[in-house]
């Protein structure tokens, strides 16, 4: 059994493995998974940026009534101590009152590892037991565990049952621009912070750090020209980026050694986070206790005493911002 910390090359570079469950919910004739209300559940960790962005899509589209959500405990624990030493996501114990954490009220699983085993009616050993998971209640199996694809399904495939019909975070006219933005935002920023923190060689770390901060400088420049990454409207790539940025100063600067600069030192990015946090209400799905508890208490290899450092000064996502009122200069968007 493996975790993300095990996905390191012989050169000491963190190399994230692809998700394995890649089925799709759609209305096409003959589709195995139809977009029906109350047929699916979303399993998440509120600490995990990949899962958290799916929660944002769920709320932006108004699908909370149609898709159940189950959320794991932020601190990893032993998953099958009688079998191996794997540590991973657990659900709350029955009767426990942990903020933002639930039991698995659907399947009664104790861990995400149990859920993956249930999905294959046996023992799952082909990947880590990650969140998010889009689960089909009807077939009692995993539809998809790739967050980027779950986001797209939530955006487009459940339109008939969505309360916020017409909200489109992947508008066709911006498809090429968003795709190019996603390419480097994912590689150098979303995944880039992990390339820094999970590197096991100095060279791999320095290479990842250089790419990360070059990309952040690029974002800062883009946001001087437009309110959002792809122009004047919020798109999916903004939600992707937000989930890394909101964790950056509270966690990554210390934990993943992304310490060349803090996000608070970037004027445009800081105001952009506040804009998304407030204007689009993304802040409603940001659980800083879960976020900080997970990172600082789950990986003895990186933080053996599980000490959670004090929150840095200057992190105030509810503060006033200038994104709605400022004038923007024209600039290249990608």
Give catalytic residues, as residue numbers: 48, 194
Residues 6+ apart with CB under 8 A from 169: 57, 60, 151, 155, 234, 235, 236, 239
Measured CA to CA, the distance from residue 33 to residue 26 in angstroms comes to 6
For 287, the token pair is: 């659980």
H-run or E-run covering 71: strand 67-71
Q: Please choose, from the candidates 244, 180, 234, 237, the residue with its C-alpha nearest in 3D space to the C-alpha of residue 212.
A: 244
For 167, the token pair is: 């909200």
Residue labelled with tokens 């990015």: 269
Judge contact between 273 and 263, C-beta under 8 A: yes
Cross-strand partners of 71:
44
For 16, the token pair is: 């994230």
Residues 6+ apart with CB under 8 A from 78: 85, 86, 87
Sheet holding 40-44, edge to edge: 67-71, 40-44, 133-136, 141-144
Judge contact between 98 and 121, C-beta under 8 A: no
Helix H segments across the chain? 49-61, 112-120, 147-156, 175-184, 192-197, 202-222, 236-247, 253-255, 267-278, 288-297
For 140, the token pair is: 């009692």
Measured CA to CA, the distance from residue 275 to residue 298 in angstroms comes to 31
């Amino acid at each position: 059994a493996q975790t993300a910390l095990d996905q390191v090359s012989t050169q000491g570079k963190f190399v994230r493995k692809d998700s394995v469950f890649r089925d799709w919910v759609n209305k096409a004739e003959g589709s195995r998974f139809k977009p029906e209300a109350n047929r699916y559940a979303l399993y998440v960790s509120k600490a995990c940026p990949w899962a958290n962005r799916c929660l944002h899509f769920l709320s932006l589209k108004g699908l909370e009534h149609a898709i159940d959500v189950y959320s794991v405990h932020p601190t990893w624990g032993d998953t099958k101590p009688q079998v191996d030493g794997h540590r991973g996501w657990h659900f709350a114990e029955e009767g426990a009152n942990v903020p933002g954490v639930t039991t698995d009220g659907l399947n009664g699983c104790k861990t995400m590892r149990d859920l993956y085993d249930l999905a294959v009616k046996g023992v799952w050993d082909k990947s880590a037991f990650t969140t998010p998971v889009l689960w089909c209640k009807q077939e009692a199996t995993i539809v998809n565990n790739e967050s980027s694809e779950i986001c797209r399904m939530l955006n487009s495939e459940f339109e008939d049952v969505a309360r916020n019909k017409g909200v489109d975070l992947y508008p066709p006219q911006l498809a090429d621009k968003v795709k190019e933005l996603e390419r480097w935002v994912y590689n150098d920023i979303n995944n880039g912070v992990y390339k820094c923190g999970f590197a096991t060689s100095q060279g791999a770390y320095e290479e990842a750090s250089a790419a990360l901060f070059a990309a952040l400088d690029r974002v800062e420049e883009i946001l001087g020209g437009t309110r959002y990454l792809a122009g004047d409207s919020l798109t999916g790539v903004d939600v992707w980026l937000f989930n890394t940025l909101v964790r950056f100063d509270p966690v990554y600067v210390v934990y993943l050694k992304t310490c060349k600069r803090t996000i608070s030192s970037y004027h445009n990015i800081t105001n952009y986070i506040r804009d998304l946090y407030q204007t689009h209400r993304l802040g409603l799905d940001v659980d800083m206790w879960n976020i900080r508890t997970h990172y600082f208490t789950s990986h003895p290899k990186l933080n053996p005493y599980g000490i959670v450092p004090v929150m840095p000064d200057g992190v105030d996502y509810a503060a006033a911002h200038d994104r709605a009122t400022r004038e923007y200069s024209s600039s290249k968007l990608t």
